[in-house]
Amino acid sequence: MYDNGPVNGTESAWTINYGYAVSDSFTLSNSTTLTGAQIGLWTYSGDNPTSVDWSIGSAPGASNYGSGVGSLTNDSLFTNGWGYNILESTFTLSDSLSTGTYWFTLQDASNTTGYPIYWDINQGPSAAWENTIGNLDASVCSNYVGYSGTCSSSFQLYGNQSKTPEPASLMLIGTGLVGLATKIRRRRQSQS
């Protein structure tokens, strides 16, 4: 339903536990029932992230459209140059949304060791926000991690879209119904 780009794992990441929250925007072109998410995480060697609190809202950090705790399933991709284990982690979520732009927030991640957990920065198309810094636009991102673009994170959202019929399809259905009504009316008139 939405793809903010793949896991990078080599440049930087935002902390999503110890009171830190990170939000990224996403836009849906059709009404959608979300069923799951995939995120990129950085962890210390041997650490196993177990869960993360997620929310979806109309503003960064908001949860007015849904929230929950995602139980993480992790696939190890590689160990980066700083010794962090780079994971592709998935969890189920349930939320029905109409067409529009929303904010996806992660926070309160937990793991087996209590060490920090980081959400991978990949500079995808989303706008980004962090609860202690604020908007992570290009100038702020440049100051914190040396990027020239936004500091948005790697994630994909999955689900089922409710597609709106195209105008031509609606016109064809309408023409068929009018033709059927005319045929029924003529048949009734001929039987009278």
| pLDDT of res. 141 | 85
Q: What is the pLDDT of residues 33-61, one digit of tens each?
A: 999 999 999 999 989 999 999 999 999 99
DSSP string, 62-106: --TTEEEEEEPEEEEEEE-TTSPEEEEEEEEEEEEE-SEEEEEEE
| pLDDT of res. 55 | 98
| pLDDT of res. 188 | 65
48: phi then psi, degrees, rounded to nearest 5? -130, 100
Pairing label, strands 66-71, 49-57: antiparallel
* C-alpha dist (Å) from residue 99 to 20, 29, 66, 164: 29, 5, 15, 11
Q: Do residues 48 and 111 lie in contact, with contact meaning Cβ atoms separated by under 8 Å?
A: yes
| pLDDT of res. 183 | 67
More confident residue, 151 or 190: 151
Q: What is the pLDDT of residues 161-178, one digit of tens each?
A: 865 555 555 555 656 655
| pLDDT of res. 163 | 57
**Is it the case that residue 93 has pLDDT exceeding 90?**
yes
Domain annotation for the chain: domains and CATH numbers: 2-164 (2.60.120)
